[in-house]
Structure 1
């Protein structure tokens, strides 16, 4: 009798295992679903292509300051306008002085760029109209003046550094 129970238990266990295993189902029909891929492209960056002057030369000849008259920023882009958004003047071997109230101190230079004057080293206050938008394939003249005080003769020194920050102009600003 014990063997009968064992055989019955074994049979039940075998059946339980058979029903517990997954059995692949076969489908009589197939269907397909087409899912569209929607694409959105957002261009948040406008490329900038321009040239700036390689240098802004200043010469002090017999007490007269001479500056270049052909400096320009050129927008070499084909479609978008650009604009100078900041002009920063940093000291080189000379101190940066106040252009409007220049006092001759040892080795100092003061600049006025498109009518925006240095007050010392740092960012210039940009006056209205000094740096208008530059249309594609056009340029903006850089008119600059300098006041210089030098204690000795020097040649080709980096008296100061001018940093132009340039940004793309959106269509609303260009209009």
Structure 2
């Protein structure tokens, strides 16, 4: 996120703190409450975990901060539907687990057959998911399926019972 905020389009956004909830509900609640106390003019919370975003949604709801602090990040539709419907979180994202599973299976098959090696820059055919390129990250190489799926008021009803 820090790297993304370096882009010119975000020059007026100040990252005040990175808070870690360690994917623990109680710690995520405490961290959210501490952010709100330390930064009373806080405008947004971006939570990159499903546990963190749901915990922040509960805190913002309990404190009546709908519309005052925008919440977004990665969340499960089943856990975030209430917060999206109430306006606490206007939208959030998540990768489609069906596509992620298919992509992993296709890539594993290609690797097992010797059709790919996983080297940087290599192209991988993921059948109906398209062709992707092996990219580098801090831990080695990986493939990305693309952007996550956006959930908002227009589609949360159809997804909240799925996952």
- State the TM-score, normalizing by the size of structure 1: 0.21
Which of structures 1 and 2 has the larger relative contact order (alpha carbons within 8 angstroms, sep 6+)? 1
Q: Which has the higher strand share?
A: 1
Question: What TM-score results when the alignment is normalised by the length of structure 2?
Answer: 0.22
